[in-house]
Structure 1
């Protein structure tokens, strides 16, 4: 920079510097033509124009950023325009009577200290008034138009504030947005992923976006910095929305065809020509297919075009073309809007965090600037922005949005926490482990579909079946024409649409089921596995599956002298919603077995380490964790202490009372479900303790029994590296009779290969060597959970510990297949009615096509309603948790959908080939 703005005095005209003794050297228009300085400056009324080839045309990106950092350090400067092609820059500043004073400030800023050996970051840090966001600015190297940078609060941005619409509402503009639907779509996806953004609307005609945001969660400065960082993804990110050109063209042809066929006959030849040109791609594709001895949808559509040309009636073909385009865009729009709302919580990233320094100083920083090892503070009601380890504090953390686990979990030092979790009570100091897409939530959100779900076997199957139906339809039309000589029945036979509704079912149905599964703690890394589930009949459990994991039971109830254990148990059970989680189920089961009275409760709230409510006698009842008792220094009755000592092995090692030491509980703790004792207090006095342990029935046995009830032909196999006798004993306890023990990794691969192609492998998808087993399986399911989700390679991951998720997973797969089959039945019924109407009721092309598309409309409405209902249910639950973080709700986020009755019917997943050559433009002309 100082090579341009030199401190040295000028020696001759060629070496003249721009600034001398920190005062600006200004050239007027007359002298500018005579001199050839390195930099030329011309002042305006509210701007300063600069010409410099070295600075603007041939300069590296770092020099431009340093220039911006220097000029924006002058607080009066609010806009800079750079035109690289013309080696020109313009600085605009606020109205001021002291223009010379502004120039002197600019001179000092641009002259600066010697920075030949300093970094841009050091230069920026040295000037306290320099705005933030210099490094993230969007500065295209080969821009044809001008680059404009604006001051937005304390930040710099290429987005210009068009107007402020009140606190928490802003309208931003950028010229790149003009007439770019793809960038507008990507911008909306970016805004949907920023925590604190509540609503947005883009306008490509005005190149602007209106945003409403929560200023308590994200301020304007931080918002524009987030948008500035997103430019690489805005320009080269997700595939944009489908072009609307064919929709507009088909609409125009519809109007033209109606006019020519019914109003102005002279226009009809033009309409016929337009329809013929519109359908020309199908003729080309049909020719290519026939050349390879294949007949498909293009041939069917081409036959319809021939009938149209013979009859000279273009209106029916135009109606069908419009309908097919309408369904395509309606399906896309429905999926786009639904996925943003369904997956918002997994994609939304917190933009700021409170960074703690060693001296206790708390600084608000961008989350992206955090590094592993940093310590941040997260308070009550806030979303945890990173994956990390608790180093201090005590809080009730709700992970329901992330993993589907209902009910807050008390976190203490040493416990892991995950991004997207909410602190419902207390506060934590967290040591940062992962940020951004490296977090569990980021890994999940990055792979969730945005609109079209690629490589979905049911979508490819719809294409294949539709192409297969073309041959009999064409044959029937040809036979009718040859026998009867009547063209209308033949037109009715080839007009039905066999493709649109099945593809819509595959896409919208899959989107619904992916979101439904995620709300239950089932993450589909590969959405195609949803289709392949219906083709499996063998479960293979690897060593990593905890076949010995037991259900939670009440191990002991301790009461002070003179008080019944049943009262203590009833108080504890009443603190939690009826079907909240495993602990609650265990408490109610034990209360039912003992016939213990459960009191009516009111004003139930959840805080760090404690649930509070009022019983029927207005006593304050508290169900508290050991850490809460310790933090409040509450006296524990002697008899309770003595009884606790006898059960020390049942308590968590992080508590002063110890932790149970068996292998099952150590594994439970690794999965973040510590079974800490629950102290019962009434009006602040400890009355007793309830202790829970995993000592009930084997969880895997109930899971296998439930899966067998769905399909009696399902096989269950255990492969293990343990000795055969030990593996056999473990497997038989859960109902598995086929066991292969003493297997090394190569032996497991050979065993899976011999078992065939219908197997579901269940293991740890992040374990070394698991990838080869995953590739062999039709479907792979990981029990690795959230901790290893970023490195997990399995098709499906159970986000909650244990194998219980296998039962709802199977139900989701069966429901998906059943929905597809039901929609196929409706499509075929409607198409048969249309075809039969050609003979029985005189249907022609228009009537037959309308009957077919009526079925498509019914199917679309059904899927729209299912998605709408799911979105409403999930958002209602999220709103409840976020608006009343202390309230305990009886309604969990994941409601088990209605199960599908009857036996399963297996399909061959090898027929579900997801890679199908696109041989049709999807137009019905």
Structure 2
């Protein structure tokens, strides 16, 4: 298994705000160089313009400054235009290049330099926004073990995971990550499989049980037999699914491309017609200059930047403008459960003491016994005790029993904390009422029973609870018109059904027991049925679904980063409260882009009329076209100050 770099096809490299097929693969590496070039070109254009209007009284430097600026900025535009013609593609790149060449041919070097500078700014903005996610697979693999401790010929040796063979026996200690899939031979331990299933509760593994690569051993020492080599393991399959899903991502075309398809030939027809009717070549060239769609090209990136700024301040990281534009088309929102709708962390849901025992006393006894345990449930109990101001300062003498609980002696009294089987093993009698109450336990709760001096004194219920803002977030989504909401999870049906009922998610839209591949398949099925899918998740097991969805939104509070880097949008704040804000902002951004396009085309139409009637010169045309560009930018800036989105 290797950390191959995922090609930029994951993001649809041919999609660019200017409608040109720019290669973004090395955009990050050359960004600083492009900025430096752009700054020098801008200085030269300013000098040329100031000289044009005699503000700088040295007329001789105007043409050299304009030509120097053209040398720095025009080549990529002309290159893309030629490639477009070769590929029989007519878009705004061809029109822009034609306007540049025409302006140069009639000696309007300053006008040509202005046009090239604005085009370059638009392209640089898109390069800055462009993001690739495949490279993060390398970062994920760096956290995965590269070696394993195996038993061969009665000796324990460390070998690279690539050399592990089916049938090898591996020793796994507490805190270790299982490097390959296999079957437990010796030992008992709780295992965190949230990497694969999203299930937050640890699973007790006994001899004969399967363990999977990417899972974390929490407490006991385990010896297991390898079932399959590393490149066929569960971990490798999840990473491969992310890559494969990325290659199937449907391309996203910015709104400007649809206009460009008709805009360029329309303008060429007008310019040619004016020249034929008036026999005035200058009028035709002026039309090309004023119609050069700089304002149109900036309609999308300027609005996107205006939206991304305030969103980032609110903890919403948007990787590309395409994810803002698609919000208006979303027809179904699919949520993963664990870590997305729920907190992904163990919390105390209730404390049920026996008669004569207070909740504080029960919690104090349990905390004292669990202090040495690394188990998530123990951490939840200790956290709850801290919240109640309960601090036990006695010596740590307790013993953690993997998969069962903990033993300790508190102030001379033996204490047992764990599941009911553990108490039965230690001859603790549990009242019938406590046993019968199991049927009343919420399906996502785990009971922790406590005994002292050989007597049962109560139990503590631990659960992976809903995030505090989940219900309000879903209500807000429905108010925004997103009424089709589904939930998929690796948990069992009881857990899924309980959560879905609390959130008013229909049973027909609730799916349990899904592995990563099945989640991705479900998203694909929805898309095949014509749905535009937004998937919200965290955890590495959500990676394939996040990449496959039309809009993948990752929760930024988890330590595992693959799902975050597979997402188009990351919610960095805890909870889902920022999700409705982002979707609202996306809709507002789309409306702003539409207004920008209408504004740019209306102003261009007015300038074309003036140019066609000979009312303006090429230089005045260039100034007028700058005014149109400024109008679009001001409209986008209005978006950045609007509070409707975030």
TM-score class, shorter-chain normalisation, is 0.5 to 0.7
Q: 1:272 to 1:703 in 2, by over 3 A?
A: closer
Partner in structure 1 of residue 109 of structure 2: 312
Q: Residues 716 and 736 of structure 1 are in contact (CA less than 8 Å); yes or no, is this contact kept in structure 2?
A: yes
Partner in structure 2 of residue 349 of structure 1: 144
Partner in structure 1 of residue 202 of structure 2: 409
Is 1:643 the counterpart of 2:430 in the alignment?
yes
- Following the alignment from structure 1 to structure 2, what is the Cα–Cα distance between the partners of residues 463 and 585? 54
SS state at 1:675 partner: strand
Q: 1:737 to 1:477 in 2, by over 3 A?
A: same
- Following the alignment from structure 2 to structure 1, what is the Cα–Cα distance between the partners of residues 123 and 536? 43
Is 1:714 the counterpart of 2:483 in the alignment?
yes
Is 1:323 the counterpart of 2:110 in the alignment?
no
SS state at 1:563 partner: coil
Give the structure with higher Rg (CA): 1
SS state at 1:377 partner: strand
SS state at 2:429 partner: helix
Q: Residues 766 and 793 of structure 1 are in contact (CA less than 8 Å); yes or no, is this contact kept in structure 2?
A: no
- Following the alignment from structure 1 to structure 2, what is the Cα–Cα distance between the partners of residues 256 and 379? 63
Deviations for 1:596-618, whole angstroms, at most 9, x for unmatched residues?
A: 995325xxxxxxxxxxxx44x66
Is 1:384 the counterpart of 2:178 in the alignment?
yes
SS state at 1:766 partner: helix
Following superposition, the deviation at residue 809 of structure 1 comes to 8.3
Q: 1:791 to 1:476 in 2, by over 3 A?
A: closer
Is 1:241 the counterpart of 2:26 in the alignment?
yes
Following superposition, the deviation at residue 442 of structure 1 comes to 3.2
Q: Residues 418 and 439 of structure 1 are in contact (CA less than 8 Å); yes or no, is this contact kept in structure 2?
A: yes
Following superposition, the deviation at residue 395 of structure 1 comes to 5.1
Q: Residues 331 and 508 of structure 1 are in contact (CA less than 8 Å); yes or no, is this contact kept in structure 2?
A: no
- Following the alignment from structure 1 to structure 2, what is the Cα–Cα distance between the partners of residues 620 and 455? 54
Partner in structure 1 of residue 446 of structure 2: 675
Following superposition, the deviation at residue 568 of structure 1 comes to 1.6
Q: 1:508 to 1:693 in 2, by over 3 A?
A: same
- Following the alignment from structure 1 to structure 2, what is the Cα–Cα distance between the partners of residues 733 and 248? 52
Q: Residues 624 and 678 of structure 1 are in contact (CA less than 8 Å); yes or no, is this contact kept in structure 2?
A: no
Following superposition, the deviation at residue 362 of structure 1 comes to 1.6
Partner in structure 1 of residue 18 of structure 2: none
Structure 2 spans left out of the alignment, 5+ residues: 7-22, 49-58, 336-345, 417-422, 488-499, 556-573, 611-615
Is 1:362 the counterpart of 2:172 in the alignment?
no
- Following the alignment from structure 2 to structure 1, what is the Cα–Cα distance between the partners of residues 39 and 85? 27
- Following the alignment from structure 1 to structure 2, what is the Cα–Cα distance between the partners of residues 410 and 582? 11
Q: Residues 552 and 694 of structure 1 are in contact (CA less than 8 Å); yes or no, is this contact kept in structure 2?
A: yes
Q: 1:344 to 1:401 in 2, by over 3 A?
A: farther
Partner in structure 2 of residue 463 of structure 1: 257
Partner in structure 2 of residue 815 of structure 1: 582
Following superposition, the deviation at residue 586 of structure 1 comes to 11
SS state at 1:844 partner: helix
1:598-677 alignment runs, 5 A limit: 599-600=388-389, 614-615=391-392, 627=403, 629=405, 636=416, 641-643=428-430, 647=434, 675=446, 677=448
Which of residues 80, 87, 95 is equivalent to 1:299? 95
Q: Residues 91 and 263 of structure 2 are in contact (CA less than 8 Å); yes or no, is this contact kept in structure 1?
A: no
Q: 1:677 to 1:460 in 2, by over 3 A?
A: same
SS state at 1:690 partner: strand
TM-score in terms of structure 2 length: 0.53
- Following the alignment from structure 1 to structure 2, what is the Cα–Cα distance between the partners of residues 385 and 899? 48
- Following the alignment from structure 2 to structure 1, what is the Cα–Cα distance between the partners of residues 578 and 306? 18
Q: Residues 466 and 499 of structure 1 are in contact (CA less than 8 Å); yes or no, is this contact kept in structure 2?
A: no
Q: Residues 151 and 171 of structure 2 are in contact (CA less than 8 Å); yes or no, is this contact kept in structure 1?
A: yes
- Following the alignment from structure 2 to structure 1, what is the Cα–Cα distance between the partners of residues 257 and 228? 42
- Following the alignment from structure 1 to structure 2, what is the Cα–Cα distance between the partners of residues 256 and 769? 53
Q: 1:309 to 1:370 in 2, by over 3 A?
A: same
Q: Residues 390 and 412 of structure 1 are in contact (CA less than 8 Å); yes or no, is this contact kept in structure 2?
A: yes
Structure in which a larger fraction of residues adopt helix:
2
- Following the alignment from structure 1 to structure 2, what is the Cα–Cα distance between the partners of residues 437 and 268? 58
Which of residues 528, 533, 537 is equivalent to 1:775? 528
Bigger drift between 338-347 and 304-313 goes to 338-347
Following superposition, the deviation at residue 364 of structure 1 comes to 0.6
TM-score in terms of structure 1 length: 0.40
- Following the alignment from structure 2 to structure 1, what is the Cα–Cα distance between the partners of residues 274 and 451? 83
1:55-134 alignment runs, 5 A limit: none
- Following the alignment from structure 2 to structure 1, what is the Cα–Cα distance between the partners of residues 398 and 306? 46
Partner in structure 1 of residue 169 of structure 2: 375
Structure 1 spans left out of the alignment, 5+ residues: 1-135, 137-185, 191-237, 520-526, 542-550, 602-613, 652-659, 669-673, 719-730, 740-759, 801-806, 863-897, 902-925
Q: Residues 304 and 495 of structure 1 are in contact (CA less than 8 Å); yes or no, is this contact kept in structure 2?
A: no
Q: Residues 204 and 403 of structure 2 are in contact (CA less than 8 Å); yes or no, is this contact kept in structure 1?
A: no
Following superposition, the deviation at residue 353 of structure 1 comes to 0.6
- Following the alignment from structure 1 to structure 2, what is the Cα–Cα distance between the partners of residues 250 and 696? 53
Q: 1:380 to 1:738 in 2, by over 3 A?
A: closer
Following superposition, the deviation at residue 299 of structure 1 comes to 2.6
1:890-905 alignment runs, 5 A limit: none
Following superposition, the deviation at residue 857 of structure 1 comes to 12
Partner in structure 2 of residue 844 of structure 1: 623
- Following the alignment from structure 1 to structure 2, what is the Cα–Cα distance between the partners of residues 328 and 712? 30
Partner in structure 2 of residue 692 of structure 1: 461
SS state at 1:677 partner: strand
Deviations for 1:726-756, whole angstroms, at most 9, x for unmatched residues?
A: xxxxx999868898xxxxxxxxxxxxxxxxx
SS state at 1:568 partner: helix
Q: 1:368 to 1:734 in 2, by over 3 A?
A: same
Q: 1:622 to 1:255 in 2, by over 3 A?
A: same
Deviations for 1:310-331, whole angstroms, at most 9, x for unmatched residues?
A: 3133432443454355445544
1:503-518 alignment runs, 5 A limit: none
Following superposition, the deviation at residue 355 of structure 1 comes to 1.2
Greater RCO, 1 or 2 (C-alpha within 8 Å, sep 6+):
2
Deviations for 1:704-739, whole angstroms, at most 9, x for unmatched residues?
A: 974774456725899xxxxxxxxxxxx999868898
- Following the alignment from structure 1 to structure 2, what is the Cα–Cα distance between the partners of residues 631 and 563? 20
Q: 1:649 to 1:537 in 2, by over 3 A?
A: farther
Bigger drift between 703-712 and 424-433 goes to 703-712
- Following the alignment from structure 1 to structure 2, what is the Cα–Cα distance between the partners of residues 686 and 303? 90
Is 1:766 the counterpart of 2:518 in the alignment?
yes
Deviations for 1:438-480, whole angstroms, at most 9, x for unmatched residues?
A: 4444334335479x98845544545335556668988999999
State the number of aligned residues.
532
Deviations for 1:778-822, whole angstroms, at most 9, x for unmatched residues?
A: 25799999999899999569999xxxxxx9889758725734742
Which of residues 352, 357, 377 is equivalent to 1:563? 357
CA RMSD of aligned residues (A): 7.5
- Following the alignment from structure 1 to structure 2, what is the Cα–Cα distance between the partners of residues 849 and 270? 25
Q: Residues 398 and 408 of structure 2 are in contact (CA less than 8 Å); yes or no, is this contact kept in structure 1?
A: no
- Following the alignment from structure 1 to structure 2, what is the Cα–Cα distance between the partners of residues 702 and 187? 39
